[in-house]
Chains A and B, each alone.
Chain A
Amino acid sequence: MDSKFLKIDISSSPHVKRPVDVKKIMRNVVFALLPVSAFAVYAFGISALTLIVTTTFFSVVTEYVIDLIEKKESTVGDYSAVITGLLLGLTLPPGFPIWMAALGGIVSIALGKYLFGGLGFNVYNPALVGRGFLQAAFPVSISTWHPSFQADRFTSFFSSNLAFPFAKPTVDSVSGATPLAAFKFEQKSTEVANLIFGQTDGSLGETGGLLILLCGMYLAVRKMLDWRIPAGIFAAVILLSVIFNLINPEKYPSAMFMLFSGGLMIGAVFMATDMVTSPVTSLGTWLYAIMIGILIYVIRVWGGLPEGVMFAILLGNSLAPIFNILTKPRVYGTKKAGAK
């Protein structure tokens, strides 16, 4: 009974595995964010490039250092800090002081992610925690807008980019207004085509609506992004927009304007879809998305701020665990939902 002719390994079933892991998903999200970042650089020049590189660099370094302090194996290789950094950078206005961006990167990872226990344990999207911190700490800088496609954008910074830490922010003489602010405060609407193709002012990553949508579709097709989230947000925003626009087109903007202005597209496609901070059940995911869509509309139209995407998603994140509990499915062969 000689059976030494073959060396075999044993393992516990299943013996096959879907060839997708966290690292692969995260890497693909980074890939999908690169065209969006490239467009930001194209529209806003070296200011955009420097801001995005700064937030990404500081996010990754913060993660690396915290792992070092906690004597844990470094998690930088899973790319999730890169995503946080890129997303944070893309939410900033083009003239944002670089030192503040660096601080934002540190806060995103340290407070948004590690305070909760690291990847998988955070309640809020880390990039939005960083963005929220910056908005609270530097309200003027984060709402000062510079026009896109300046002739000298590839050779010079906006002067406010280079502000010294804790110096009084200098307001540039040329400052623009985002389409949402223009609509809200000046009742000026923007051509929808300009919004779709990114020919407007705004945060770095929010001006190329169509491009963001395409990048999101790449991820959705590869099943690395839950299409239900952007779909639910869009549906809620479109429905509300259409209803109120029919009632009073002067006061309430059109659905296309709502979809392609501000941070809605990047928020719906890349931020609300963060797996860690969105619900796990199918129905819960729909409720979460629709709620975010409604909140965006409500804040934008009736709130004090021109933009509501960040707060809407953060609120959605807080409710994700509750949506999971409320939508716990009925277990096969049992009567009541969730048995208990």
Chain B
Amino acid sequence: MANSFKHGIHPPEKKEISADKSIKRFPFAPYLVIHLAQHIGKPAKAIVKEGQEVQRGQKIAEADGFVSVPMHSPATGVIKKIAPMLDFDGKMSPSIIIEPHPGSDQNVLVGREVEPDSLTPEEIVKAVQEMGMVGLGGAAFPSHVKFSPPKDKPVQTLIINGAECEPYLTSDYRVMLEQAKRILRGIKIVMKALGAKETIIGIEDNKKDAAQVLKDAISVDDSAVKYVKVEVLKTKYPQGAEKMLTKALVNKEIPSGGLPADIGVMVSNIATVSEIGELLPKGQGLIERVVTISGKGVDNPGNYLIPMGTPLEFVLKHAGVNEKARHVIFGGPMMGKSAAYLEMPITKGASGILVMTEEEHAPKKQKVYPCIRCGECVNACPLFLNPSRLGILARNDEFDKMAEDYNLNDCFECGSCTYVCPSNIPLVQYFRVAKKVLREGRQRKQQSIAG
């Protein structure tokens, strides 16, 4: 039987819409917007000036400190403007706007090639940062920071997340089918940086063909065959969450409030290692990514290699957006964020763009019934929290009690509780608000102590 975790849900997979579409290159938009704060950590600092000519792949912003990454130009063109642009949260965020040259051959700037085997772990970490690499699964956390765990917590096992448990998304699936060699190259580099002894690639059993492709690639690779293995997981949401993967693959739980390194594990997304395997040896930066465009609101769903900074509007037009489109979502339908403005660009964390119609999206106005204690949420929560009880506490604004007695802060907002609730209670939405209120309260307290 396939490995798995307990609880979880089975939303319709909807992967058939784009699963058989191989990765296709996207055209360049008339302008590209590079947010300098599209990763977790400090924003990058622009190192170009307005009006300056840049080549595709050229560094245009540098990392500001350790928890920060540089940006590279996704196109050969001219820096049109350096100005604040709307970001995801509706805030104005410093950005570089590039106008690609229509006639350019768009060759990527040749980087300084390196032989990964000759690098020390510290040099790999530095090179990964220089690539501007962040987790491509959606969190956009700088990869090199993850690859530098505390010295007292050595990582034994590298877990590669090929679960892709979000419905609709197929970009990781295509990456596994088409980029097996790059993935293995990336795994070796990351393992060296971490000093890990083994790697386990976890793939849901709705992608057995991808698992087979990787197994075949491993079997003909003399070094990978010794320390990389593929494990097939049960298709169940949220199988791809860090906490679920460690449980399913090494049968260990990440301690509450802790890190995977606490149990000797590091989890990385499969597309992330593929990009590292491709770009690091070439000494190039991250300038494009594979994005699934799916949903009934587009006529040409598929998996596209899209330049960073491509505005949503351009993406939608090229994917054949139709008049039934009502919702545009960055990421998957369970945890993705709704886009409010179509000026927003593709960022490093965008694994999918879903264009959903009214019918396929959750109903807009749902009647909320009282909790009937059916226990669906309790049996869905992968962390064994009690969402029903937490929901009642949230309604009464008892946020402290939620955190102290009911482990609110362990919740990673997978949305399973809201998905199953027959009373249509917006549970995960309540929890998000509660966490935010508590976080802001803590910050205020710290400020008042400091002041």
Instruction: Give the B-binding residues of A (Cβ under 8 A).
Output: 1, 3, 5-18, 20-25, 78, 118-121, 226, 275-282, 285, 328-334, 339-340
Which of B178-186, B188-196, B226-234, B421-429 faces chain A?
B421-429
- Interface: B328 (CB within 8 A): yes
Q: Which residues of B contact A17 (CB under 8 A)?
A: 362-363, 366, 418-419, 424
A224 CB, nearest partner CB in chain B, Å:
9
Contact between A13 and B333, CB atoms less than 8 A apart = yes
Question: Can you list, as one digit per residue, whether each of B365-384 has a CB less than 8 Å from chain A (1) or not (0)?
Answer: 01101111111001100111
Contact between B333 and A16, CB atoms less than 8 A apart = yes
Total residue contacts A-B, CB cutoff 8 A: 172
Between-chain CB contacts (< 8 Å), 5 pairs: A9-B326, A14-B334, A18-B420, A280-B379, A281-B375
Q: Which of A3, A23, A330, A332 contacts B382 (CB 8 A)?
A: A332
Instruction: Give the A-binding residues of B (Cβ under 8 A).
Output: 9, 11-12, 167, 243, 247, 253-258, 311, 313, 316, 321, 325-329, 333-343, 354, 356, 360-364, 366-367, 369-375, 378-379, 382-386, 388, 404-407, 410, 413, 415, 418-420, 422-424, 426, 428-429, 432
Contact between B372 and A22, CB atoms less than 8 A apart = yes
Q: Which residues of B contact A333 (CB under 8 A)?
A: 243, 253-258, 383, 410
Known contacts A8-B327, A279-B375; 4 additional CB pairs below 8 A are A15-B361, A119-B369, A280-B388, A334-B256
Known contacts A3-B341, A331-B407; is A13 also within 8 Å of B366 by CB? no
A2 CB, nearest partner CB in chain B, Å:
8
CA A277 – CA B418 in complex, angstroms? 21
7 closest A-B pairs by beta carbon, nearest first, are A280-B375, A120-B370, A14-B415, A17-B362, A3-B342, A333-B256, A10-B338
Q: Which of A25, A275, A340 contacts B375 (CB 8 A)?
A: A275
Contact between A13 and B335, CB atoms less than 8 A apart = yes
CA A119 – CA B407 in complex, angstroms? 28
CA A3 – CA B356 in complex, angstroms? 17
Contact between B372 and A15, CB atoms less than 8 A apart = no
Contact between B369 and A21, CB atoms less than 8 A apart = yes
Known contacts A15-B329, A120-B373; is A328 also within 8 Å of B386 by CB? yes
B258 CB, nearest partner CB in chain A, Å:
7
Q: Which residues of A contact B253 (CB under 8 A)?
A: 332-333
Q: Which of A6, A14, A16 contacts B321 (CB 8 A)?
A: A6
Q: Which of B378, B410, B422 contacts A20 (CB 8 A)?
A: B422
CA A22 – CA B340 in complex, angstroms? 31
A6 CB, nearest partner CB in chain B, Å:
6
Contact between A12 and B432, CB atoms less than 8 A apart = yes
CA A24 – CA B369 in complex, angstroms? 12
Contact between A5 and B410, CB atoms less than 8 A apart = no
CA A12 – CA B336 in complex, angstroms? 9
